[in-house]
Amino acid sequence: MSEYKKGLLYGLLCYTIWGLFPLYWRLLEHVDSFEILAHRMLWSGVFMVTLFIGVRHMRLKKNIKGGRQYLMLLLTGTLITFNWGLYIWAINHGYILQSSLGYYINPLVNVLLGYLFLHEKLNPAQTVALLLALAGVLYFTIDYGHFPIISLCLAFSFGIYGLLKKKIGLNATPALTVETIFMMPAAIIYMALAFHSGDSALNTFAPVTWILLILAGAVTAIPLLLYCKAAERITLTALGFLQYVSPTGQFLIGILVYKESFTTAHIVCFSLIWTGLIIFSVDTIRHLRH
C-alpha cells in the first residue's frame, strides 16, 4: 500500500472514531467538563509515553531537534487541549449540533489555511464551497440570534492545529508524545486541587466512572495519532475532505439519539454547507483521480 493510500486509511479511521465521540462523552455528563479534560490530558499523556517507550527505534533527540520545535509542540498541545475542552463542554451541555457544524466548517477552514500559508491553490469550485459555507454561517447567525462561536472556535482551533502539524513536519508518535507530556502538569495540578476540595469525580462517583475517565486517554490518543499519521502523508485539502465523516456522525447522533432541536436556521445553514461540501468533494475526487 502506498504512503498516500495509508494516509487516506488513517484519516478515515480517525474521523470515524471522532464521529462516535458524543456517545462516549455523554456517559460522563455527570462529571465536570474541566475534570474530563484534565483526565484526557493526563491519561493520553500516559498512553503516549507508554507507546513511545514500546517503539524501540524512537528517540526524542533523533526526531525532535532544537528548542523551536519544542516550542511549536507546546503551542500545538495548547491548541488541541483547548479544542478538546470546548468540545466536551459543548457535547455535555446540549450543543452537539453546534459542534458538528464546527467540524463541517473545518474542512473549508483547512482549504483556506492551506491557501494562505501552504500555497495550496484555491480553484473556482473550492472558492464557491467556501462562499457557500460563509453564507450558511452568516444566515445561522442572523436567524438564530447569536454568533455560532462554539462552531467557529472548534473549526479554527483544529484547523490551525493541522496547519502547524504540517509545518512542523515531525514523526507523529514522538511529536504527539511531547505534546501530551507538556499538558500533563496542568492536568495533575487541576486534579489534585479538585480531589483536595472534595469536588473530584474520584471522590464521589462509582468505579465505572473512574474506568471511563482513565480510558479517555486511549480514546483520545488513538484517533489523534491516526490523524497525525494521516497529516504526514496527504495534503491538508485531502485531509479536510475525509473529515466529513466525523461531523456527519455527530449530526446524526444529535438528531436521532439525543433529540436536539433542528430549526429552520439549522436547515438553511447545514444545507448551504452541505452544498458547498458536495461541490468540494466532487472537485477533490476529480483531482485525486487525476
Mean pLDDT of the chain: 83
pTM of the complete model beyond 0.85? no
- pLDDT, tens digit, 9 for 90 and up, residues 202-216: 667 688 888 998 898
C-beta separation of 133 from 184 below 8 A = no
Q: Rounded CA gap, 290 and 55, in Å?
A: 37
- For residues 19 and 171, give the distance between their C-alpha atoms in angstroms, rounded to a whole number: 25
Distance CA 49, CA 68 (A): 21
C-alpha cell at 116: 494562505
The Cα-based distances of 219 to 90, 111, 136, 216 in angstroms read: 18, 27, 32, 5
Q: Which residue has the higher pLDDT, 59 or 81?
A: 81
Q: Quick one: which of 81, 72, 76 has its CA closest to 40?
A: 81
The predicted pLDDT at position 58 comes to 61
Three cell numbers, residue 102: 464546527
Query: Over pLDDT 70: what percentage of the chain?
Result: 92
Q: What pLDDT is attached to residue 8? A: 82
Condensed to tens digits (0 to 9), the pLDDT of residues 28-41 reads 888 888 888 999 89
